[in-house]
């Protein structure tokens, strides 16, 4: 069922920008980014054209897991500023026509949260049932090896249970030992969380990104997993991912909070292990659960089962086929989120593109082109619009993320050398996404402090924001054009998706169509020239080049060949019928026209502003 452009929700044509505040901008010079640092760079976000900002957690926290271990849901950690600073950010975004999406962690809290501290004091405490407390396994004493209530492995490695001597019991934590899981089976827990969310909505928040929300329903009774791995632990994930009451819980959340807010919110559920078919049920508007989900399927394709750091080759047909399957599954009901990177993933250009100096810029543009031309809501992670690559960490001691430091200990038990572990972390550590954004070429990158909490990339001057802002052919301006394209053309936001040459190992190609309007997207995902003849791509006569990623001095004379990491978006004339086979393989040049953004600058207002001169040059 196609959405009507006149009535489709605002987020179908929007782009969301994720801010990880610890690494965005340092407003007080203490080495850690903060809310005042975010406020200082709102011009950058407004010029980019995004309509919403997803703010990673700024709550009071011991920071064992970067703030995703929440000690107080209704405050701001002094590290980031004050609640007044957050109110000021909400007001400033709204004044610029942008929305704030708050990151909320509803599956677990920090062990420093008052709820957990009360629950561990006594079996009779009213908060005892707010968490998953269990006695040692029969025949064992608390703290003995094998005494854990189940054999589950946590997502960060090690047992998913920790013994607490004060409580004389084990508590469940699917992530770090400092992140005990909340018991959603206990109604007072849900009521408290819903009340907290309503409190944030009253402060002006425009939606929520809900961390690992599909883990809140556990399959009862809690029991051992059938198979054990080399560490002696079992895979308990099937017992917690999208459990038996998950739809009931999400519908209650929508009924009690999200659907009664009096405004059109954006709700995103981060969901581990969810399939495209399950995503339809979660995002079907008639079911009233969430607007879209964050899938992990495409970001697990390059890793060995059970070990995300054991990197495997990723054939292009597998990656594009996975995303195409999600496009197909949610074509008639539900909605897709689109992302290649976020705070939990390494940098997209290093992972899926080519971060060598000769190819970093062009491959970053190519990846952005294919992602933003899919159907769904794109999410841009901070620095992605600059083509930021992975950081070249030189030693294991340089990593700070809890998942990475835990992995060092685990990998050593497997007999891996430190060099081998370093290579794995330099490919997949979450710390790559958390190094500071370089605003200038200055030694501190314009971050605001000489010694930030994580080091700046040693080559940050080559992709600093101020230099890219002055360069109309930069990665930054390419993102601006892509975002403008989505806001201006209904076919980009709402058109159908048809993959082309799905088995080709270097070509990423697909068609978008809405009524008589059609776009052809082609990208060469390699550093070698790629002739289109014989690939299965047919470029109809009169096709118009709307957007490309080459600099003018790199533009090829032969339009039938894609240069290394070249991407093109072509508009197909109304009335052309692809089924008739009319067209060319690309040997004849496509009709050359002014880029789309120049054409629309004269005729269309997008998001309340006209396109500017520096948005029209790239081909």
Catalytic residue among 103, 211, 289, 615: 211
- The Cα 154–Cα 177 span in angstroms is 9
User: What is the dihedral angle through the alpha carbons of 493, 498, 504, 507, rounded to the nearest 10 degrees?
Assistant: -30
Question: In a 3-state reduction of DSSP, which class is residue 220?
Answer: coil
For 9-48, b where at least 16 C-beta lie within 10 A, e where not — what string? eebbbbbbbbbbbbbbbbbeeebbbbbbbbbbbbebbbeb
- The Cα 300–Cα 306 span in angstroms is 10
User: Cβ contacts of residue 251 below 8 Å, gap of 6+?
Assistant: 287, 288, 289
Token readout for 419 is 């060099």
Q: What DSSP element (H or E) covers 198?
A: helix 187-202
Token readout for 389 is 């690559």
- The Cα 467–Cα 413 span in angstroms is 46
Token readout for 242 is 């999208």
Q: What is the DSSP string of 357-418?
A: TTTHHHHHHHHHHHHHTSSSEEEEETTGGGT-------SGGG---HHHHHHHHHHHHTT--H
Token readout for 531 is 């002739």
| Cα–chain center distance at 217 | 23
- The Cα 111–Cα 108 span in angstroms is 9
Find, among 330, 486, 601, the residue nearest to 15 by Cα: 486
Q: What is the DSSP string of 432-485?
A: GGGSPP--SSSTTTTSS-SS-SSPPPTTGGGG-HHHHHT-TTSHHHHHHHHHHH
Token readout for 144 is 């003995």
Cβ–Cβ < 8 Å for 555, 387 = no
Find, among 238, 195, 198, 192, the residue nearest to 214 by Cα: 238
Cβ–Cβ < 8 Å for 298, 345 = no
Go through the chain and tell me how many residues it has: 619
Does the annotation count 211 as an active-site position?
A: yes
Does the annotation count 527 as an active-site position?
A: no
- The Cα 316–Cα 301 span in angstroms is 10
Question: In a 3-state reduction of DSSP, which class is residue 496?
Answer: strand
- The Cα 377–Cα 207 span in angstroms is 14
Give the full edge-to-edge strand order of the sheet including 266-270: 292-294, 266-270, 207-211, 99-105, 52-55, 16-19, 377-381, 337-338
DSSP state of 564: T
Catalytic residue among 270, 302, 384, 566: 270
Cβ–Cβ < 8 Å for 363, 354 = yes
Q: What is the DSSP string of 509-529?
A: EEEEEETTEEEEEEEE-SSS-
Cβ–Cβ < 8 Å for 567, 549 = yes
Strands 567-572 and 561-562: unpaired
Give the active site residues. Answer: 211, 270
């Amino acid at each position: 069922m196609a959405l009507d452009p006149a009535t489709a929700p605002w987020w179908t044509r929007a782009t969301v920008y994720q801010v990880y505040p610890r690494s965005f901008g340092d407003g007080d010079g203490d080495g850690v980014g903060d809310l005042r640092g975010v406020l200082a760079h709102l011009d950058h976000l407004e010029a980019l054209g995004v309509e919403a900002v997803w703010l990673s957690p700024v709550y009071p926290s011991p920071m064992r897991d970067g703030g995703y271990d929440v000690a107080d849901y209704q405050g701001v950690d002094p590290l980031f500023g004050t609640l007044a600073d957050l109110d000021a950010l909400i007001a400033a975004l709204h004044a610029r026509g942008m929305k704030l999406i708050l990151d909320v962690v509803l599956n677990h809290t920090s062990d420093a949260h008052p709820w957990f501290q009360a629950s561990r004091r006594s079996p009779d405490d009213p908060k005892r049932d707010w968490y998953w407390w269990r006695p040692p396994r029969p025949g064992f004493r608390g703290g003995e090896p094998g005494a854990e209530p189940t054999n589950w492995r946590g997502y960060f490695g090690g047992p998913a249970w920790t013994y607490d001597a004060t409580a004389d019991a084990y508590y469940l934590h699917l992530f770090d030992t400092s992140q005990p899981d909340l018991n959603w089976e206990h109604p007072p827990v849900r009521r408290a969380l819903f009340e907290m969310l309503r409190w944030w909505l009253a402060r002006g928040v425009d939606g929520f990104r809900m961390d690992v929300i599909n883990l809140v329903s556990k399959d009862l009774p809690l029991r051992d997993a059938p198979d054990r791995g080399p560490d002696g632990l079992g895979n308990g994930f099937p017992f917690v991912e999208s459990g038996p009451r998950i739809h009931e819980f999400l519908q209650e959340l929508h009924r009690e909070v999200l659907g009664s807010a009096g405004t059109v919110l954006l709700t995103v559920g981060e969901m581990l292990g969810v399939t495209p078919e399950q995503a339809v049920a979660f995002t079907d508007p008639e079911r009233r659960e969430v607007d879209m989900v964050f899938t992990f399927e495409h970001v697990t394709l390059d890793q060995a089962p059970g070990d995300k750091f054991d990197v495997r080759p990723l054939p292009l047909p597998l990656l594009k086929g996975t995303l195409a399957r999600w496009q197909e599954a949610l074509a008639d009901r539900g909605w897709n989120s689109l992302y290649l990177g976020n705070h939990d993933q390494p940098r997209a250009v290093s992972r899926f593109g080519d971060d060598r100096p000769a190819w970093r810029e062009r491959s970053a543009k190519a990846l952005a082109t294919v992602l933003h031309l899919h159907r769904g809501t794109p999410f841009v992670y901070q620095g992605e619009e600059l083509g930021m690559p992975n950081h070249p960490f030189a030693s294991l001691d340089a990593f700070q993320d809890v998942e990475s430091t835990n992995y060092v200990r685990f990998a050593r038990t497997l007999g891996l050398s430190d060099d081998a572990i370093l290579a794995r972390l330099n490919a997949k550590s979450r710390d790559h996404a958390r190094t500071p954004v370089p605003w200038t070429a200055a030694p501190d990158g314009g971050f605001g402090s000489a010694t930030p909490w994580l080091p700046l990339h040693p080559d940050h001057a080559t992709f600093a924001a101020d230099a890219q802002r002055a360069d109309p052919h930069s990665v930054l301006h390419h993102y601006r054009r892509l975002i403008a394209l989505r806001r201006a053309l209904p076919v980009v936001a709402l058109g159908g998706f048809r993959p082309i040459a799905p088995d080709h190992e270097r070509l990423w190609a697909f068609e978008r169509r809405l009524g008589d309007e059609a776009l052809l997207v082609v990208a060469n995902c390699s550093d070698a020239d790629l002739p289109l003849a014989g690939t299965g791509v047919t470029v109809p006569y009169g096709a118009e080049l709307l957007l490309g990623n080459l600099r003018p001095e790199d533009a090829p004379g032969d339009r039938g060949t894609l240069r290394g990491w070249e991407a093109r978006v072509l508009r197909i004339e109304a009335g052309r019928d692809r089924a008739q086979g009319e067209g060319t393989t690309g040997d004849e040049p496509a009709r050359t026209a002014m880029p789309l953004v120049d054409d629309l600058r004269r005729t269309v207002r997008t998001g309340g502003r006209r396109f500017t001169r520096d948005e029209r040059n790239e081909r």
